[in-house]
Amino acid sequence: MVEDGLGMPWKYVFRRLGIALVQLAAISVGVFFLMRALPADPVGHLVGFNASPEAIAHTRHFLHLDRSQWDQLAIYLGLDTSSGPGLIQGNLGSSWTTGTTIAEEVRTYLPITLELITYSFFVAVLVAVPIGLAAALKPRGPLSRVVFVYSLFAGAQPEFWWGLTFIFLFYVKLHLAPAPLGILNPLAQAPRTVTGMVTIDSLIAGNMSTFFEAASHLMLPVLTLAFVLSGPIIKMVRQNVLKTLQSDYMMYARSLGLSQFRIATYTLKNSLAPCLTLIGILYGYMLGGAVLIEQVFSLGGLGQYAVRSVLTFDFPAIQGIVLVTTTGSLLILLSSDVVHALIDPRIAR
Amino acid sequence: MLNQVSVPADAPEAEFALTGTQAVPATVAGRAMRLVRVLLKDPLLVCGVLIVAVSLLLVVLGPWMAPYDAQLPTRDVSQAPPALSDVPSLILQSLQGKLHHPVHWFGTDSTGLDVFSRVLVAPRVDVVVGLAATALSLFLGTLLGLFAGYFGTRSAESIIRISDVFQSFPIFILAMILVVLTGRNVIDIIVTLACLYTPIYLRLTCSQVVSQVGRTYVEAARAVGNREIVIALKHVLPNSLTPALIQASVTIGWAILFTAGLTFLGAGVRPPTPEWGGMIAASANYLVLGEWWPSVFPGIAISVTVFGYAIIGNVLEARFRQ
C-alpha cells in the first residue's frame, strides 16, 4: 500500500475514485435511456393539447428528439458538438421548460438543500450519539429499552406529516414559528449570493437580522428531519458501542487496568467509525430524499426542483439532477470510507 | 445462525424429544409453534403483530367496515370530528341504531368525504403496495442472490458492484421518474419499488449463500449424488433465507412510507383514490386554517402502521443477531 507520512491510503482513494467515475458514466447513460424508454411524451407536454403538427415537428427537431437515440446520446455526452458542448465538455444542457442552464439552476437550488440537511444531521448526531452511548452502557436497563423503542419509532415515520403537524402546533396554535413559506420572508432583503446558503451568506454580509430570519424559518424543517434521522443513527451507535464493549480487545484493555476514560475513548473511536458510513449513506440519500420536507415548508431546494422537472417531463433537468446527486452521494460515501480507513486501516486493503 | 432461528435458547430440542407425549412434537410445525410462544412474551413484538394484523384485516374488510363510500362526497363539508366527551354516547346510540346516518368519527374533509371511511379503505392501496412490492423483490432478490452466491464468486463480486450503484442512486427521484413517466398506476408503483428493493435481498442472500457453500451438509448432499441446482434450491436456499425474511417486514414499512410520500408529492396514486399520503396532501392547505382532522388521522394511520412493521423486523433481527 502506498502511504504518505499521514497514513493517507492514496492507492485506495484512487481506486475508489476510478470505480466512482465508471459508476457515474453508467448512471448518466442509464438514466438517459431509461427516460426515453418509458411511455412519456415530453413534446406533447411542452407544446400543449391544441398545437399544430408543425409546432410539434419544430419542437421535436429543436430538442433533437427527431434524431435516433444514439445521436441524442452523442449530443448529450458531447461526442457530437455540432449543436453545442455536451457533458464531457462540462455542460449539463439547458432546461426544456425555463431555458436556463441546468448548472445555473442546480447552483441556485442545491445550496438550500445542503443547508437544510447539514443542519439536520448536525442536530441529529449531536442528540443521537450521547443517547445511543448511554443506552449501550446499560443494555439491560429500562433506559436502553426506551431508547430502542424510540429509535424504531423515529426511523419509521412519515416526515412530511410530522412537518405539517409541527406547523399546526408551532405556527397555527402557538405562534412560535414563522409561516412555512420558504427560507426568507418574501419581503425580506436577500443577502448577496456567495455560497447560496442564506444563513452563511447573511453572516458573510454581516446582516444579523436576515440570519435570524433564515434561522427561524429553518427551525421547524431541521427539527423534523433531525427527529426522523435520529432513529437510525441512535440504533447504529447503540449497536456498535455494544459490540465494541463485548469485544476481546476491550476485555484485554480492561484486564490491563486502563483508566475508565481511556476505555471510553477506545470505545467511542472504534464504534463511531461504522456509524460514519451510515451517516454518509443517509446524507447522500437526503440530497434527493429531503424533497418531502422541502415541499412541506416550500424551501425551494433541489428536491422540489426535481419534482417540478419530473412532473413537466424536463429530461435535461432530470438527467442533471440525477448526475449531481449521485456524484454528491458517491463523493460523500468515498470520503466517509476514507475517514473510516484512517481510523481503521484494515478497511483499505 | 439457523440453529438459533429454529430453536430458541430457552427451549432446547432435547427437552421436547424426551417428553414425547407433549402436544408439540419435534417437527417443523412444532418448532414454529414453540418459536411463536417464546416471541409472544415480548410485549413490543405483540404490539407489532397486532398492528400488522389490523392492517391486513383492513386490506380484506376495509370497504365493508367503512360507514360511508370512500369516494362519494357527503353533504357535510369540513365537519369536525365529535368531541371526545361525546364519543361514548355516540357509540352507544349507533349500536342501538338510533342515529339517522352514521357518525363522521374522524370528521369530513373540504369536499365532504368521510375521513374515517377513507382511512379504513386506504390500506387497499398502501399496504397492498407494500406487500406486493416486498414479495416481488424478495422473490427476485433471493433467487438472483442464490445463483450469484452459489455459482461462482466472480459473479457475486460484480453483482455487489451493481447494487452499489443502486445504493448511490437518488432513490426517491428515480422512483418519481419511473412512476410519473409510466403513468401513475398502482402496478407501476409496485414494480418500481420492487426494482428498488431487489438489490437489498440480493445482497443479503448472496452473502449468506457464500457462507453456506463450504459447509459439510452441502458436501454431503453432493456426495449422495444430488444435482447442483437441487442442492442450491433445496438445501442451501432454506438455510440462507432468514436475514431476507426478517428484512421483509422492514421493507413493507418502507414501501408504505414511500407510496404515501410519492402520492403526497403528486407523483403517486391519482386522486380521489383513498390513500393516506394523498389524503394528507389534499388537506395540507386547510391545516393552516385550523382544519386539522383530514390530515392528522391518515398521518397517525401511516405512523402506526409503519411502526408496526418496523417493530417486527427489528425485534426479530435483534433476537437472531445474538
What is the predicted ipTM?
0.82
- Of B55, B162, B177, which to mutate for an interface test with A (greatest number of A Cβ within 10 Å)? B177
DSSP one-letter string for A169-184? IIIIIS--S--SS-SS
In three-state secondary structure terms, A158 is coil
Span B142-152, average pLDDT? 81
Residue of B nearest to A180 (CA): B288
Share of chain A above pLDDT 70, in %: 94
Distance from CA of B279 to the nearest CA of A (A): 11
Residues of B in contact with A296 (CB under 8 A): 284
- The DSSP code for B129 is H
Q: What is the pLDDT of residue B205?
A: 84
CATH number at residue B54: 1.10.3720.10
DSSP one-letter string for B157-216? HHHHHHHHHHHHS-HHHHHHHHHHHHT--HHHHHHHHHHHHHHHHHHHHHHHHHHHTTSH
> What does pLDDT average to over chain A?
81
**Out of B173, B277, B292, closest to residue A168 by CB:** B292
pLDDT tens digits along B120-133: 888 888 899 999 99
| A109/B contact by beta carbon, under 8 A | no
Residues of B in contact with A34 (CB under 8 A): 177-178
Span A126-131, average pLDDT? 89
| A306/B contact by beta carbon, under 8 A | yes
Does the beta-carbon distance from B261 to A152 stay under 8 Å?
no
Euclidean distance between CA atoms B116 and B144, whole angstroms: 42
Share of chain B above pLDDT 70, in %: 87
Residues of A in contact with B181 (CB under 8 A): 35, 38-40, 310, 313
Pinpoint the alpha helices (H) of A297-346.
302-311, 315-343
Locate B133 and state its grid cell: 412490492
Q: Decide if pLDDT at A252 tops 90.
A: no
pTM of the complete model: 0.83
Q: What is the pLDDT of residue A6?
A: 54
Pinpoint the alpha helices (H) of chain B.
2-6, 13-18, 28-39, 43-65, 87-96, 115-121, 123-150, 153-168, 171-182, 186-212, 216-223, 228-230, 237-240, 242-264, 276-287, 293-321
- C-alpha separations of A117 from A126, A195, A291, B51, B174 in Å: 14, 15, 11, 32, 20
Say if residues B193 and B172 touch (Cβ distance below 8 Å): no
Q: Decide if pLDDT at B107 tops 90.
A: no
Residues of B in contact with A289 (CB under 8 A): 170-172
Residue of A nearest to B301 (CA): A158
Residue A123's pLDDT band, with cuts at 50, 70 and 90, is very high
Residue B91 lies in a domain: no
Say if residues B278 and B264 touch (Cβ distance below 8 Å): yes
> What does pLDDT average to over chain B?
78
Does the beta-carbon distance from A39 to B181 stay under 8 Å?
yes
CA A251 to chain centre: 39
Span A62-90, average pLDDT? 74
In three-state secondary structure terms, B108 is strand
Query: Which is more confidently placed, A188 or A253?
Result: A253
Residue of A nearest to B262 (CA): A292
Say if residues A128 and A234 touch (Cβ distance below 8 Å): yes
Say if residues B58 and B65 touch (Cβ distance below 8 Å): yes
**Out of B168, B253, B290, closest to residue A172 by CB:** B290
Residue B211 lies in a domain: yes
Q: What is the pLDDT of residue B322?
A: 60
**Out of B183, B299, B318, closest to residue A161 by CB:** B299
Euclidean distance between CA atoms A141 and A147, whole angstroms: 10
B283: Cβ–Cβ under 8 A, 6 or more apart, which residues?
Answer: B109, B110, B291, B294, B295
Residue B52 lies in a domain: yes
**Out of A152, A160, A326, closest to residue B168 by CB:** A326
Place of cell 460514519: A276
Euclidean distance between CA atoms B218 and B195, whole angstroms: 31
Residue B286 lies in a domain: yes
Does the beta-carbon distance from A322 to B299 stay under 8 Å?
no
Residue B24 lies in a domain: no
Say if residues A250 and A263 touch (Cβ distance below 8 Å): yes
Euclidean distance between CA atoms B8 and A125, whole angstroms: 36
Q: Tally the domains of chain B.
A: 1
Locate B237 and state its grid cell: 436456499
Euclidean distance between CA atoms A75 and A77, whole angstroms: 6
Query: Which is more confidently placed, B17 or B86?
Result: B86
Locate A255 and state its grid cell: 484486564
Residue B136 lies in a domain: yes
Place of cell 434527493: A288
**Out of B182, B265, B309, closest to residue A307 by CB:** B265
Residue B23's pLDDT band, with cuts at 50, 70 and 90, is low
Range of weakest confidence among A161-165, B213-217, B302-306: B213-217
Say if residues A237 and A272 touch (Cβ distance below 8 Å): yes
Residue B205 lies in a domain: yes
Euclidean distance between CA atoms A194 and A205, whole angstroms: 9
Q: What is the pLDDT of residue B307?
A: 92
For residue B174, give its domain range.
Answer: 41-67+97-321
Return the CA Rg of chain A.
24
Span B265-290, average pLDDT? 84
Q: Decide if pLDDT at A191 tops 60.
A: yes
**Out of B44, B161, B267, closest to residue A311 by CB:** B267
Span A312-324, average pLDDT? 86
Span B231-259, average pLDDT? 85
Q: Pick from A166, A227, A120: which is nearest to B284 by CA? A: A166
Q: What is the pLDDT of residue B189?
A: 85
- Of B51, B181, B195, B264, which to mutate for an interface test with A (greatest number of A Cβ within 10 Å)? B181
Range of weakest confidence among A121-135, A149-163, B15-29: B15-29
Q: What is the pLDDT of residue B138?
A: 92
Does the beta-carbon distance from B284 to A289 stay under 8 Å?
no
pLDDT tens digits along A11-39: 878 887 888 888 888 888 888 888 887 77
Span A231-240, average pLDDT? 88
**Out of B176, B261, B307, closest to residue A160 by CB:** B261
Does the beta-carbon distance from B169 to A322 stay under 8 Å?
yes
Euclidean distance between CA atoms B36 and B299, whole angstroms: 31
Q: Backbone phi, then psi, for A251, in 5-degree steps? A: -65, -40
| Enclosing H/E stretch for A32 | helix A10-37
Span B93-109, average pLDDT? 76
> In this structure, how many other beta carbons lie within 10 angstroms of the beta carbon of residue B110?
15
Locate B213 and state its grid cell: 457453500
Q: Decide if pLDDT at B231 tops 90.
A: no
Say if residues B157 and A274 touch (Cβ distance below 8 Å): no
| A160/B contact by beta carbon, under 8 A | yes
Instruction: Evaluate the CA torsion angle A78, A79, A83, A85 in order and state its sign.
Output: positive
> In this structure, how many other beta carbons lie within 10 angstroms of the beta carbon of residue B167?
16
Q: Backbone phi, then psi, for A94, in 5-degree steps? A: -120, 150
Backbone torsion region of residue B30, taken as left when φ is above 0, otherwise alpha when ψ lies between -120 and 50, otherwise beta: alpha
Strand partners for B108: B114
Q: What is the pLDDT of residue B167?
A: 66
B292: Cβ–Cβ under 8 A, 6 or more apart, which residues?
Answer: A168
Residue of B nearest to A175 (CA): B288
Euclidean distance between CA atoms B218 and A329, whole angstroms: 40
Residue B198 lies in a domain: yes
Euclidean distance between CA atoms A113 and A105, whole angstroms: 13
| A336/B contact by beta carbon, under 8 A | no
Locate B210 and state its grid cell: 457464500
| A170/B contact by beta carbon, under 8 A | no
In three-state secondary structure terms, B230 is helix
CA B237 to chain centre: 22
